[in-house]
């Protein structure tokens, strides 16, 4: 029995098939299949059921799976211990990020590049997704760190936060929008948007959650006409008269052809935070990168 066979077995189970496991391991699929067949011959039992559309573990395979993971974890622990004594940092860190346009403003790419220069043997993987799915991935251990939008200030269970952005949201419209008929008007109640087409981030994002909750508190469901993945695009759609955007106030709004109005009464806020599991990332590489991000990212604004 070889360690790589256990690694291949665990990968196939986690990926639900040989092809995806081979891609994850950067190996040819026939080689992965051959090694697992060899493992099954050595053990005298089938570990995987290949009869369905996806590969699943047999009863014996399920019993073996925990031991295989424990063996791989033990070997990784040995490597990490030796590396720590040698002053080296290795491993893999999985990060989830909001849209690139937002993240660029935080300087995350530069922080990651500097970390990579200091620790070239650490593999960093980036995922761009909705905040809702990134939070689920943090809980499952698929992500070590994430920059997420929040629907409310209280951290989700099991997650710690460092706030990066905490700003009031505004109503953004084209200058000729009916809401701007009164040139002296500086604010509107959220209820004024009851029948208006709204422009929003997709479901699962923090900003969308804030908008839906605020509208519910005002007694109506928002009528979403357009969705886009970045607040900058929402502002551009609003500037062309395609609807009303509820967004963090953009810089130089007048220059971009937008008119912004404060929200009277309710005070929904745009919240973006660095997030990680409360018990901390499992590996030393992830812990080191989290420390770098926490010290290098900006204070709330």
Q: Domains of the chain by range and CATH?
A: 3-86 (1.10.10.10), 91-164+272-296 (3.40.190.10), 166-269 (3.40.190.10)
Helix (H, G, I), strand (E, B) or coil at 190: helix
Q: Which of 232, 187, 229, 193 is nearest to 208 (CA)?
A: 229
Backbone angles phi, psi at 267, to 5 degrees: -125, 65
Q: Read off the tokens for 277.
A: 């599991």
Closest CA relative to residue 131, chosen from 256, 272, 286: 272
Asked whether residue 103 carries a pLDDT value surpassing 60, the answer given is no
How far apart are the C-alpha atoms of 261 and 189, rounded to whole Å? 10
Mean pLDDT of the chain: 86
- Distance (Å) of CA 17 to CA 87, 137, 225: 38, 20, 39
Q: Is the pLDDT of residue 186 over 60?
A: yes
CA angle 239, 216, 171 (to 5 degrees): 20
Question: At 212, which helix (H) or strand (E)?
Answer: helix 206-217
Query: Of the candidates 97, 166, 143, which has an alpha carbon nearest to the alpha carbon of residue 281?
Result: 143
Q: Alpha-carbon distance 145 to 143, whole Å?
A: 6
Model confidence at 44, pLDDT cuts 50, 70, 90, reads: very high
Q: Tell me what the mean pLDDT of segment 283-290 comes to.
A: 87
Q: Which of 100-109, 119-128, 159-168, 274-283 has the lowest mean pLDDT?
A: 100-109
Pairing between strand 269-277 and 145-150? antiparallel
At 74-86, the pLDDT tens digits run 888 887 777 665 5
| pLDDT given for residue 102 in this prediction | 56
> Whose CA is closest to 267, among 245, 240, 248?
248
Is 158:139 a contact under the CB 8 Å cutoff? Answer: yes
29-58: average pLDDT = 90
Q: Say yes or no to pLDDT of 87 above 70.
A: no
Strands (E) across the chain are located at 48-49, 56-57, 91-97, 122-128, 145-150, 159-173, 187-189, 197-200, 223-227, 244-248, 259-264, 269-277
Per-residue pLDDT, 224: 94
Predicted TM-score (pTM) of this structure:
0.67
- pLDDT score at 216: 92
- Mean of the pLDDT values across residues 108-130? 88
CA distance 30 to 186: 66
Tokens of 4: 């790589």
Kindly give the pairing relationship between strand 122-128 and strand 269-277: unpaired
Taking the C-alpha atoms of residue 22 and residue 29, their distance in angstroms, rounded to an integer, is 5
Q: In percent, how much of the chain has pLDDT > 70?
A: 92
Q: Residue 291: which region, alpha, beta or left (left: phi > 0; alpha: psi -120 to 50)?
A: alpha
173-184 average pLDDT score:
88
Helices and strands in the chain: count of H runs, count of E runs: 10, 12
Task: For residue 242, give the 3-state DSSP assignment.
Answer: coil
CA distance 175 to 253: 11
């Amino acid at each position: 029995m070889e360690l790589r066979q256990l690694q291949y077995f665990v990968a196939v189970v986690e990926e639900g098939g040989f092809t995806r496991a081979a891609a994850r391991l950067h190996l040819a699929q026939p080689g992965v299949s051959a090694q697992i067949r060899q493992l099954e011959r050595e053990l005298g039992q089938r570990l995987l059921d290949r009869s369905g559309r996806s590969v699943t573990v047999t009863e014996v395979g399920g019993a073996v799976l925990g031991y295989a993971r424990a063996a791989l974890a033990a070997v990784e622990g040995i490597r990490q211990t030796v590396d720590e004594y040698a002053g080296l940092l290795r491993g893999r860190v999985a990060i989830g990020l909001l849209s690139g346009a937002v993240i660029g403003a935080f300087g995350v790419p530069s922080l990651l590049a500097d970390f990579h220069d200091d620790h070239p043997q650490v593999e960093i993987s980036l995922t761009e997704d909705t905040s809702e799915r990134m939070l689920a991935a943090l809980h499952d251990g698929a992500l070590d760190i994430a920059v997420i939008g929040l629907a409310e200030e209280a951290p989700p269970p099991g997650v710690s936060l460092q706030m990066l952005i905490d700003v009031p949201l505004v109503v953004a419209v084209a200058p000729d929008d009916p809401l701007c008929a009164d040139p002296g008007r500086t604010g509107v109640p959220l209820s004024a948007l009851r029948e208006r087409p709204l422009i929003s981030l997709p479901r699962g994002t923090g900003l969308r959650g804030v908008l839906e909750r605020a509208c519910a508190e005002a007694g109506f469901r928002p009528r979403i006409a357009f969705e886009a993945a970045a607040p900058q695009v929402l502002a551009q759609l609003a500037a062309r008269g395609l609807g009303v955007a509820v967004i963090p106030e953009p810089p130089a709004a007048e220059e971009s052809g937008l008119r912004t109005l404060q929200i009277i009464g309710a005070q929904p806020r745009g919240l973006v935070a660095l997030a990680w599991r409360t018990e901390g990332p499992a590996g030393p590489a992830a812990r080191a990168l989290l420390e770098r991000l926490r010290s290098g990212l900006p204070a709330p604004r």
